[in-house]
Structure 1
Amino acid sequence: MAGTTLSRWTLSYFATAFVFLLLAEALMTFGVGYPAHPLRAPQTLFLVHCITLGWLSLLMCGALFQFVPVLVAKPIYSNSLPLLALVLILAGLLALLAGFLQLAGVLPFIRHCFLAAAVLLGSGFLLVLWILGCTLARARPLNLPACFVVVGLCSVAATVTFGSIFMLGFGGYANMPLLAELHARGVPLHVIAGLGGWLTFTAMGVSHRLLAMFMLSPELDGAPTRWTLYLGALSMVILIGAGIVATITGISLTPVLAVAGLAALFSLVLYAHDVLRLYRKRVRPVIELNSRMAGVALGHLAVAALLILICAASGVILQYSGALVFLVCFGWLSGLGLAKLYKITAFMTWLECYGPVLGKTPTPRVQDLVVEPRAGKWFWAYFGAVDIAVLCLFIGTPLIFRAAAAVMLIACVGIAVELVRIRRLVDVEAARRLPAGTRQPRLLFTLVAS
């Protein structure tokens, strides 16, 4: 329980990510991006990258800086370099968003904007890979959750590589036939490697450990978990390896996507089996809010997988791709991220504030930092609005979609307020809030770190 297990800059990643989540929901509320604009319109690209890079990727990076050391029981390689990585990624993302505004005619065109975005984002994520890779390398042989993270890190490397090629193409630099071909036909590889390999597969691995930790369930290390890893990794190898070959040779991507999708589907089925075992074998009798909401997010993942299968079998997956991506991003990934963010913030705050005096003086529990009935209303409002928004995308009612996006925005503001209250210890009894030897936590970073 020593405070040295804390990551100094994880909360800065979380705060920055949350700003982009609120920005994305505000844009949808005011009709910017899909469905008001086509899927490949600059406005939609602006919105999508606010969500995938600004919100989900920064959230995942921050979580990994905190929990990869927990997964492998080794200290993080560096507790200062994550700040530099955050600055590089944020600068690159702002340059990328400026580039999309130029394509939309909002800003005058500056050719080197996309080049700067490619260099800065590539450098930032390379630094993330270096920090996490060195941390993992110190802990070989790796346990199963860490192996999931390795596959996720390989996927983000591929995702950023594809994205850099696209950025160079937008800036007029991808003149080689090979790069031009990837720029023209590689979008599905970029999207699936990012949402499927980087975000979903990494979340699957980390959630194995977090669900077991927070529900006091036995950790899983059996054949189903191993085959979840093997099949998920196989789907990414097929998607990225065979997908690149098919793209540059002009072969149809459909068989590649079908085989990779089949492997991914079996991996998800086994993952669902493991998650059900974690919930059934838990020692904690009352499931906390974060685990209940994680269960709701997992339900959205199951629905998304089923709808993707139905749409693919019916030949309408392109028609409904926007709705399906929205469901994955907000029902599954954002839902799980918000649920775990609520718990992680409370856990890190408690560990930072009360960890140094444990056993020396009475301290509050982690649950004393939160008020779950109040926060739960915001979570249910969020998931309800997401479901309405998805339905609106399928049936084509953009005005109601915007209203649902507004409710999502309000709900996320409510969750953000809860997170700030946790960091400021507002809901802890005044008499027990700051016993001797403790100090008020800072809002955006931790003071106790290795």
Structure 2
Amino acid sequence: MNDLKTNNAPHSSVVVPHFIFGAISLFVLAVLIILADENIFGVYFNGKLLAITHMAVLGWAIMIVFGALYQLIPIVFETKLYSEKLAKFTFWSLVISVLLLTYSFWEGAFSNLLVYAALLMFFSLLLFAFNVLFSYKNSVLKNNSSRFIITAVFWLLITGLLGVLMALNFKFNFFSEIHLHYLKIHATIGLIGWFSFLIIGVGSTLLPMFLISHKLNHKKLSISYYLMNSGLIGLIFNWFLLQLIIVTLVSWILIIVGILFFLSFIYDSYKKRIRKKLDIGMQYSMLAIGGVVVPIVISLIVLIGFNFNFELLSRITTLYGFSIIFGFITTLILGQTYKTLPFIIWLEKYKNLVGKTKTPLPRELYSEKVATIQFYIYLLFILLIPIGLLLNNTIIVKVGSYALLVVSILYNINVLKIIFHKVKNIENE
């Protein structure tokens, strides 16, 4: 634990609200999926599906990621967070914008409320970026992990800017292409440029640390960085200007190869690990890393261009988004919650007691039994939804949706148990 630079850690009041709102958002997300019913099978540009996607990405994933990143900056950057007050203000700005965006999409208020919600969201992202960038400026450590994170923040701003332009286009209609074209770019930059780069940046530091792995080949991360950036820039340039299939294919292959280099780095870390037994957090994390293969395969199938009818293509596209948001991102977040949040709370409550009395381990702050049940029900969820989508079966999707609801309840139970943990009276050794 000494390796975690605890002296630079922000106060828990900066981090904890993000986990609380994120946990609630996961529950709301499950409810929205149930209420959406057959809209799940519709084209990916419908209000209900957009509301679900933005609640998943912004209310759930980004909220947890922001909170975790505020805590992890001392680890990756080896410096304090630039401004804790700014982080707290950003949290409330983000909460309001998430709620407004989700409501706007769900109710189909595309030409009025959506514009203001998108502008507020972009403002929140700018504040977050400002805080991270100035923290990085004060950092003495510049490595592959920090480079991935800073680049991810850049792509996050591009994603947010394009989102604002799309919202404004509903009102002023200035784009030359149909909305779906820009939605594709918006989603790709967000999922690959922001989430993938951030996960690689944080994961390349945390996963080897939790596995206790040493003597790794960090050149693989450098190769991954340049390949993924080249591919993403190629995609954006092509989709805006050229629109050539060959450029799309080459760019996508560069991104996939870059991701494979990262996976190879994690595989090396796994093979060289000293900690052989994986706890529930690392089981989730390894499942997430393995799950990256699914969206890679789906994306290649779509790019190759099999003759799918429009209805099937819509369901496959929805499945592609599902495999990234739930198969990869959510799975990793669920796992890392059980690695980061218990330590954050443990640090706050027991740091000054270390060496003076017996203290519990961070993993003892939550119920491992509840977390294990949650894990297997989540497996059921990520299996049933894809099957239901491919078979166009509403019953299977409904059962999968209720499985996610149970997962969200169990997750909330453990998150609240961790956050409201009370220091026990433990006798001196």
Give distance in 1, aligned partners of 2:390 and 2:412. Answer: 29
- Percent identity between the two aligned chains: 22
Counterpart of 1:291? 282
Please give the residue correspondences for 1:48-67 in structure 2 after superposition, counting only pairs within 5 Å.
48-67=53-72
2 CA distance for matches of 1:286 and 1:87? 39
Does 1:76 find its partner at 2:72?
A: no
CA 1:185–1:385 in structure 2 vs 1: closer, same or farther (change >3 Å)? closer
**CA 399–184 in structure 1, closer or farther in 2 if over 3 Å, else same:** closer
Question: What's 1:304 paired with?
Answer: 295
Which residue does 1:227 correspond to in 2?
A: 223
Q: Give the AA of the match of 2:10.
A: L
Match for 2:68: what amino acid?
A
Deviation of the 1:242 alpha carbon: 4.0
After superposition, the Cα gap between the structure-2 partners of 1:348 and 1:182, relative to the gap in structure 1 and judged at 3 Å, is farther
Structure 2 partner of 1:42? 47
2-structure distance, mates of 1:219, 1:210: 15
Q: Provide closer, same or farther for how the CA distance between residues 110 and 242 of structure 1 changes in structure 2, counting only shifts above 3 A.
A: closer
* Displacement after TM superposition at 1:341 (Å): 0.9
Residue 10 in structure 1 maps to residue 1 in structure 2? no
C-alpha separation in 1, matches of 2:192 and 2:112 = 30
Distance 2:244 2:405 in 1: 37
Cα distance change, pair 255–297 in 1 and its aligned pair in 2 (3 A) = same
CA distance in 2, matches of 1:152, 1:266: 18
- Aligned partners of 2:179 and 2:32: how far apart in 1? 27
Q: Between 61-70 and 336-345, report the one with greater CA deviation.
A: 61-70
Matching residue of 1:25? 30
1:422-437 to 2 correspondences below 5 Å: 422-425=418-421, 430-432=424-426
Q: SS in structure 2 opposite 1:35?
A: helix
Asked whether 1:259 is paired with 2:255, we answer: no
Whole-angstrom distance in 2 between the partners of 1:40 and 1:385: 23
1:392-403 aligned at under 5 Å gives the runs 392-403=388-399
Which deviates more, 409-418 or 122-131?
409-418
Which structure 2 segments of 5+ residues have no match? Answer: none
Structure 1 SS opposite 2:96:
helix
Aligned partners of 1:377, 1:219: CA distance in 2, in Å? 35
Unaligned runs of 5+ in 1: 104-108, 437-450
Q: Root-mean-square deviation (CA), in Å?
A: 2.3
Who is 1:324 aligned against? 320
Matched, 1:89 2:94: yes
The amino acid of 2:327's aligned partner reads G
Cα distance in 1 between the residues matched to 2:139 and 2:14:
22
Q: Where do 1:263-412 residues align within 5 Å? A: 263-315=254-306, 316=308, 318-319=313-314, 320-412=316-408
Aligned to 1:127: 127
* C-alpha distance after superposition, 1:154-183 (max 9, x if no partner): 11111101100111122x13x44xx45484
Distance 1:403 1:165 in 2: 37
Q: Do the aligned partners of 1:331 and 1:383 also contact (CA within 8 Å) in 2? A: no
Q: 1:408 to 1:111 in 2, by over 3 A?
A: closer
The reply on whether 1:209 has 2:200 as its aligned counterpart is: no
Contact 2:8 2:79 in 1 (8 A): no
Q: Which amino acid is the alignment partner of residue 68 of structure 1?
A: I
2-structure distance, mates of 1:101, 1:304: 26
In 2: Cα distance, 1:101 partner to 1:277 partner: 44
Go from structure 1 to structure 2 and tell me whether the alpha carbon gap of 1:222 and 1:97 turns closer, same or farther (over 3 Å shift).
Answer: closer
Output the amino acid matched with 2:402: A
- Equivalenced residue count is 418
Amino acid at match of 2:256: L
Q: Which residue of 2 aligns with 1:439?
A: none
Structure 2 residue matching 1:31: 3-state secondary structure: helix
Task: Return the offset for 1:56.
Answer: 1.4
Structure 1 SS opposite 2:356: coil
After superposition, the C-alpha distances for 1:108-166 in whole angstroms (9 at most, x for unaligned) are: x6954223112211110000000001111222561111111112111111110110011
Distance 2:245 2:411 in 1: 40
Contact 1:217 1:278 in 2 (8 A): yes
Once residues 310 and 183 of structure 1 are traced to their aligned partners in structure 2, the CA distance between those partners, rounded to angstroms, is 23
Secondary structure of 2:236's match?
helix
> Where in structure 1 do 4 or more consecutive aligned residues deviate above 4 Å?
none
Q: The residue matched to 2:59 in structure 1 has which SS?
A: helix
Which residue of 2 is the match for residue 139 of structure 1?
139
Write the distance in 2 (CA, Å) between the matches of 1:414 and 1:95.
Answer: 27
In the superposition, the TM-score normalised over structure 2's length comes to 0.90
In the alignment, the residues of structure 1 paired with residue 45 and residue 110 of structure 2 have an alpha-carbon distance, to the nearest angstrom, of 20
* 1:185–1:64 distance in 2 versus 1, CA, 3 Å: same
Q: Counterparts of 2:83 and 2:169 in 1: how far apart (Å)?
A: 34
Q: Which moved more, 1:401-410 or 1:218-227?
A: 218-227
Q: What is the CA–CA distance in structure 2 between the aligned matches of 1:223 and 1:3, rounded to whole Å?
A: 30
Instruction: Give the whole-Å Cα distance in 2 for the aligned partners of 1:102 and 1:29.
Output: 16
Q: Distance in 1 between matches of 2:206 and 2:390?
A: 33
Alignment of 1:100 with 2:105, yes or no, is: yes
Query: Does 2:135 match 1:150?
Result: no
The Cα of 1:372 is off from its aligned counterpart by 2.4
